[in-house]
Copies of this chain bind each other. A is one copy, B any other.
């Protein structure tokens, strides 16, 4: 029935999943190219191939969406990625800014038994170290009520529950201003010129640029 996919094919599926997960209805060639860091021409080739394998729906000039099979595979990849991140963080004590890149490789190891044992070994965690929900082996997500910090009203009190980028640079910056999951913020000011915020956190005032605030996921608290 189903042939094994190459790492590359898997990374494309995950990219399309990420893009269509939130706003976008279809994943455009250019968006995918940016996500997997390759040329648009390469993406077109791969979209044809994944379409032939019935993992995506793709028509020339109309972008791609995942089929049910594609969704299932992409969700399993996300599950593996996030469980490995928990392993690296909880068990091997890696800092949160170093785990994403290693998990990007570990997620391609192919064994359902392995990942289910790992899940169990880790105590069936429901969120990864960046606050993202971990799909169950049936592919179920636990969605959480969250907003981005740039969208909450002035004077609100919120708690950081996630970050939408996992890059080492971004997370290292958050470390430097002493911001981590669970950190509480009170919005003390909004600058409409550049959409930056002033917030109170751990008893100190911080300036948060829009570039940063739109990647911080918070809930009321």
Tell me the A residues contacting B by CB distance below 8 Å: 88, 91-94, 98, 102, 105-106, 109-111, 113-114, 117-118, 121
Oligomer: number of copies: 2
Indicate if the CB atoms of A121 and B109 lie closer than 8 Å: no
Distance, CA A92 to CA B122, complexed state (A): 10
Indicate if the CB atoms of A109 and B117 lie closer than 8 Å: no
Contact of A92 among B88, B106, B109, B118 (CB under 8 A): B118
Closest 7 CB pairs of A and B: A92-B117, A105-B109, A102-B111, A92-B121, A102-B114, A91-B121, A106-B109
Indicate if the CB atoms of B102 and A117 lie closer than 8 Å: no
18 contacts across the A-B interface (CB closer than 8 A): A88-B114, A91-B121, A92-B114, A92-B117, A92-B118, A92-B121, A93-B117, A94-B113, A94-B114, A94-B117, A98-B113, A102-B109, A102-B111, A102-B114, A105-B109, A105-B110, A106-B106, A106-B109
Distance, CA A19 to CA B188, complexed state (A): 68
Distance, CA A117 to CA B90, complexed state (A): 12
6 additional contacts, CB 8 Å, given A94-B113, A94-B117, A106-B109?
Answer: A92-B117, A92-B121, A93-B117, A98-B113, A102-B111, A106-B106
- The interface residues of chain B lying within 8 Å CB-to-CB of A102 are 109, 111, 114
